[in-house]
Amino acid sequence: MNDVISPNLRQNLGKRTSYRCVMNTSFNGVSVVIPCLNEEASIGEVVDAAWEGIRALKLSGEVIVVDNGCTDRSPEIAEEHGARVIAESERGYGAAIRKGFANAKYDILVQGDGDMTYDFTKIDDLVIPILNNEADMVVGNRMGNILPGSMPALHRYLGNPVLSLLLRIMFHRHIVRDAHCGLRAISTRAYRSLHCVTTGMEFASEVIVRAIHCNLRMQERPITYHARVGDSKLSSFRDGWRHLRFMWLHSPASALLVPGCVGWLLGLMIALPIAFGPVVVNGRAIDIHCMIMGGLLNTISLQFITLGLIAKAYAHVSGLRHDPVIQWLYNHLTFEKLIYCASPLVVVGTLVALTIVIQWIASGFGTLDQTNLLFLAMLCVINGIQLGAAGYVFSIMILPRHVKPFTVEPVDEVAQPAEYATDAST
């Protein structure tokens, strides 16, 4: 699989790229799906361009325009230009695309917008790698050839680059440089394996993330991004947040586990050296106040770690995606083992705390001169309880979810002894 754009392609951004097509007879054609919300000024030309792109592939095909609540003549114009128009009452970019894909007849799906921003006459650049069995999904990359006035500076230099970078970091796949490009091609079989569920603009991120989890072969192809016709339906901050929120919720390792582990270790590094008394640095004593802050960081971070593991476990056991880390934990760490690990922390911490408190009481409630050690004891108790509680929740999550009911076997009538026989007349 070619996971990067070759230097030749980079030099020819925006130019027509030709590929040698080895026709794969297992694909019966191409379905082009165009979501539409009041695009009467452009939808006719977009449908014509889509038909031209299909003819260039020399395959059977269809153009599907999804009416997502149009109040103008967009559906009528699309039909006049040969598109099949279907309606989707639930508003949203993702809802419209999913409705179109669900109604597509052919084995390769192409999506794009109805506002003239994408050149549908060149969809073969995206489709041919699938026909050649080189990729399961091909995503356009606009960032190298954005025509003047086509993309706001906020999206071009901040929104798209930052969100795409976060996606690459959080999901460890470096092929996607323009994660929100709306011109894409994917095989129908591959798309159905993704089980996408979102309805808004975050659908663009969802497809990429689920494709990564499903190990689909992905490629990018450079495309030209044109100025749109008509008014934009995008909301920069709202739609940007929806993308970020989706990625954040689907990457508990990046959102919770990594910062949690870093914070937990840092908290211990702050708290442990001070446990047996102040530490003097450059003539200044670092004492209980810093230890309290380190302990607080340690406790909060432990919450992040357990919540992150529980989120990953939920995704694993519910079938959202296979997680080898969680699988290993379930294979090697039972509830009993976690209790064995947590119990010493709780016991030792409790004994140390009781010893200090008893000595304090015996001294007549005088000065508590072992505050640091007492705080460390409480930190041990908190860590132990949290570890045990996490093991409890983990064990609950793998309990059987579907219990097969016992079948009632038919009972044959057995002749009773005479002494147990009953007289029907009585």
pLDDT at residue 173 greater than cutoff 90? no
pLDDT reported for residue 20: 36
pLDDT reported for residue 404: 52
The mean pLDDT of 48-72, rounded to a whole number, is 96
pLDDT reported for residue 420: 44
Q: What is the pLDDT of residues 384-394, one digit of tens each?
A: 999 888 888 88
The alpha carbon dihedral of 88, 91, 94, 95 has a sign of negative
- What percent of the chain lies above the pLDDT cut of 90? 47
- What percent of the chain lies above the pLDDT cut of 70? 86
Averaged pLDDT score across all residues of the chain? 84
CA distance 258 to 261: 5
CA distance 120 to 113: 9
| Joined tokens for residue 186 | 């994917």
pLDDT reported for residue 1: 33
Q: What is the DSSP code (8-state) at residue 404?
A: P
pLDDT reported for residue 333: 78
Q: Please say whether the beta carbons of 114 and 194 come within 8 A.
A: no
pLDDT at residue 361 greater than cutoff 80? yes
pLDDT reported for residue 314: 82
How deeply is 385 buried, as exposed, middle or buried, from its count of CB atoms within 10 A (0-12, 13-18, 19+)? middle
Backbone angles phi, psi at 322, to 5 degrees: -80, 130
Q: Structural domains in the chain?
A: 7-249 (3.90.550.10), 252-397 (no CATH)
CA distance 326 to 280: 43
- Is pTM beyond 0.75 here? no
Give the residue among 50, 63, 225 at the shortest CA–CA distance from 141: 225
Q: What is the pLDDT of residues 71-113, one digit of tens each?
A: 999 999 999 999 999 999 999 999 999 999 999 999 999 999 9
pLDDT reported for residue 285: 81
CA distance 177 to 161: 7
What is the SS3 assignment for 168? Answer: helix
Residue in this structure with the two tokens 């209790």, named with its chain if needed: 339
